[in-house]
Amino acid sequence: MSKARIWTAITAILALSACVGEGFNRRPLTVGERAPEYGARSFTGDSIDFEDFQGQPFVVNLWATWCTPCRAEMPELQELSEHYGESLKVIGVSIDGHGAKDLIQDFLEEVGVDFQILLDPDRRFVREFTSVGVPETFLIDADGIIRAHWIGRFYPFDSVNVALIEDALAL
């Protein structure tokens, strides 16, 4: 084997190990940690940052139009938003791709959702929150601390979940 091929192989191995190593350093977020800084464009085009909700607890739900469990939980998230009103902000983060705004609009109208929706076609939320997929939901308190984390279908009115939400509101 020539020296050039050896150096090429070594360089490729080092580059690959750097990429893989970065992935191993990213651990899932846990309850009790500060939520990452995150912002995105709203469905209406406004720039929204989670810092905007400082001092107010909120639920953030990662979803997509093609996700069957997302479709099932969206009406309940709308009900949660209506039930708590201004005391608990409900935010949806859509990871549908670029150019899916009409598809998202149709979905929101179909399921009757009017709470805050953010568009994240580049899936920054997934990277920042080390999400595993859709749906995934976080309860973040007024100080920006993650108080609960649900992977998969979220049942907001389950008694355990109501207690977690009520606790976050009481802080």
Check whether 57 has a pLDDT greater than 90.
Answer: yes
Do 57 and 136 meet the contact criterion of CB atoms below 8 Å apart?
A: no
Non-local (6+) Cβ contacts of 97 within 8 A are: 121
Cis amide linkage into residue 135, ω under 30° from 0 = yes
**Residue 36: Cβ-neighbour burial (10 angstroms; 0-12, 13-18, 19+):** middle
CB-based contacts of 127, cutoff 8 Å, min separation 6: none
Helix (H) / strand (E) element for 107: namely: helix 101-111
pLDDT at res. 153: 97
Class assignment of domain 31-170?
A: alpha beta
| CA 89 to chain CA centroid, nearest Å | 14
**Pairing state between β 89-94 and 116-119:** parallel
CA dist 81 and 115 (Å) reads: 7
d(CA 17, CA 28): 21
Q: Where are the domains of the chain?
A: 31-170
Question: CB atoms < 10 A from the CB of 58, how many?
Answer: 21
Say if residue 107's pLDDT is above 70: yes
pLDDT at 17: 36
SS3 assignment, position 147: strand
d(CA 145, CA 104): 29
What was the pLDDT predicted at 82? Answer: 97
Q: Decide which of 74 and 7 is more confident.
A: 74
pLDDT at 22 over 60: no
Query: Mean pLDDT, the chain, as a whole number?
Result: 88
SS (H, E, C) 27-81: CCCCCCCECCCCEEEECCCCEEEHHHHCCCCEEEEEECCCCHHHHHHHHHHHHHH
